[in-house]
């Protein structure tokens, strides 16, 4: 697989060209590219071009949405190939993006990587209220909860979620890990989470650590 294939895929994500991302991802898979490399060096590398431009006001919300959708088309193709790649641990992790927050690209990646580690992952989606997290922990008898937030405003809802988990008498039963660009280990300590994960691989390692 030529390096330029990954760079081309990244460019297609940046252009928000969903049909071409789908086609290119499939063609790379057909030629034996590693699905994990497609994610990190192609699909996410494309989002790495988008992020600073959005931040600098050079790209707007609708364009970024198109990039996210294009990335999603590629993810759909690689996801079945990485799920359950490692030994199944058959433990349940409930995960979601906290209330008020609609960002899910990073969270979806964490879900995929956790699934690839053999965990049973219950993905609650975005804008998940504290009550919904509590309900899902009970319903699925989860051992770990993952909270994602991308906004400095919504990261505060992580604390509300952890507080409600404690109020429901579930805090001793579940480990809580948090992630997302604005959060840190210090913040995790402050709000009483069990750990902070900088990225999806760290989330998988942390979940394994909790469950062993
Ligand atoms: Co938003 N946005 N956005 N946005 N957006 C940011 C976050 C921002 C930093 C951009 C900026 O600089 N201006 C900024 C936040 C500023 C702040 O709070 N300080 C921002 C803003 C302001 C907004 C809006 C308010 C814009 C507006 O409408 N005016 C709005 C808010 C909507 C809402 O949520 N209520 C908004 C909307 C959007 C889009 C819809 C256009 C789109 C989201 C599409 C989607 O997710 N489906 C979007 C995007 C794409 C971004 C940026 C460009 C990219 C985020 C991303 O997907 N990164 C982002 C800029 C940036 O981050 N540099 C930005 C790639 C992803 C793989 O990384 O999410 O960090 P990340 O996930 C990583 C780790 O953080 C970690 O692992 C992941 C994979 O390695 N991780 C976890 C994440 N969650 C985890 C959970 C875990 C463990 C690890 O659980 C255990």
Task: Chunk the chain into consecutive blocks of 10 residues (it has 212) and report each block's average pLDDT, rounded to whole numbers.
Answer: 86 96 97 91 87 83 84 88 59 96 91 76 97 97 97 98 98 97 98 94 88 78
Asked if 65 and 154 sit in the same domain, the reply is no
CATH assignment at residue 122: 3.40.50.280
What is the per-residue pLDDT for 117?
67
Closest-lying ligand 1 atom to the alpha carbon of residue 126: 34
The rounded distance, in Å, linking the Cα atoms of 154 and 99 is 7
Whose alpha carbon is nearest atom 19 of ligand 1? 152
What is the best residue among 70, 75, 95, 103 to mutate for testing ligand 1's pocket, by most ligand atoms within 8 Å of CB? 103
What is the per-residue pLDDT for 116?
61
Q: Which residue among 82, 109, 139 closes a domain?
A: 82
What are the C-alpha distances in Å from 160 to residues 50, 56, 106, 147, 174? 31, 31, 21, 11, 16
Q: What is the distance in A from the centroid of ligand 1 to the CA of 51?
A: 9
Asked if 72 and 152 sit in the same domain, the reply is no
Asked if 71 and 101 sit in the same domain, the reply is no
DSSP assignments along 130-189, one per residue: HHHHHHHHHHHT-SEEEEE--STTTTHHHHHHHHHHHHTT-TTT-EEEEESTT--HHHHH
What is the per-residue pLDDT for 111?
86
Angle of helix 156-167 relative to helix 130-140, nearest 10 degrees, comes to 50
Closest-lying ligand 1 atom to the alpha carbon of residue 67: 50
Asked if 92 and 193 sit in the same domain, the reply is yes
Among candidates 105, 165, 176, which has minimal Cα distance to 143? 176
Q: Which residue among 34, 50, 82 closes a domain?
A: 82
Asked whether 199 and 193 are in contact (CB, 8 A), the reply is: no
Coil, strand, or helix at residue 196?
A: strand
Asked if 56 and 97 sit in the same domain, the reply is no
What is the per-residue pLDDT for 2?
65
The rounded distance, in Å, linking the Cα atoms of 172 and 153 is 27
The rounded distance, in Å, linking the Cα atoms of 110 and 211 is 17
Asked if 112 and 207 sit in the same domain, the reply is yes
Greatest Cα pair distance, the chain, in angstroms, is 54
Q: Which residue among 49, 82, 115 closes a domain?
A: 82
What is the per-residue pLDDT for 90?
63
What is the per-residue pLDDT for 88?
44
Asked if 119 and 169 sit in the same domain, the reply is yes
Asked whether 94 and 137 are in contact (CB, 8 A), the reply is: yes
What is the per-residue pLDDT for 206?
95
What domain range is 166 assigned to? 88-211
């Amino acid at each position: 697989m030529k390096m330029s294939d990954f760079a081309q895929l990244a460019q297609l994500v940046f252009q928000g060209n969903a049909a071409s991302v789908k086609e290119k991802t499939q063609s790379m898979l057909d030629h034996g590219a590693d699905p994990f490399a497609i994610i990190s060096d192609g699909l996410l590398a494309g989002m790495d071009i988008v992020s600073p431009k959005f931040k600098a006001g050079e790209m707007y919300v609708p364009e970024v949405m198109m990039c996210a959708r294009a990335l999603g088309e590629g993810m759909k193709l690689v996801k079945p190939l990485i799920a359950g790649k490692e030994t199944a641990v058959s433990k349940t992790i409930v995960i979601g993006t906290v209330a008020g927050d609609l960002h899910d690209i990073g969270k979806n990646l964490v879900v995929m990587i956790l699934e690839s580690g053999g965990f049973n992952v219950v993905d609650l989606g975005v804008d998940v209220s504290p009550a919904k997290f509590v309900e899902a922990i009970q319903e699925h008898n989860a051992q770990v909860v993952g909270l994602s937030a991308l906004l400095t405003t919504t990261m505060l809802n992580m604390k509300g979620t952890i507080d409600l988990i404690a109020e429901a008498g579930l805090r001793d039963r579940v480990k809580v890990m948090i992630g997302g660009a604005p959060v840190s280990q210090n913040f995790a300590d402050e709000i009483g989470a069990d750990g902070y994960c900088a990225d999806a691989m760290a989330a998988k390692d942390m979940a394994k650590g909790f469950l062993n």
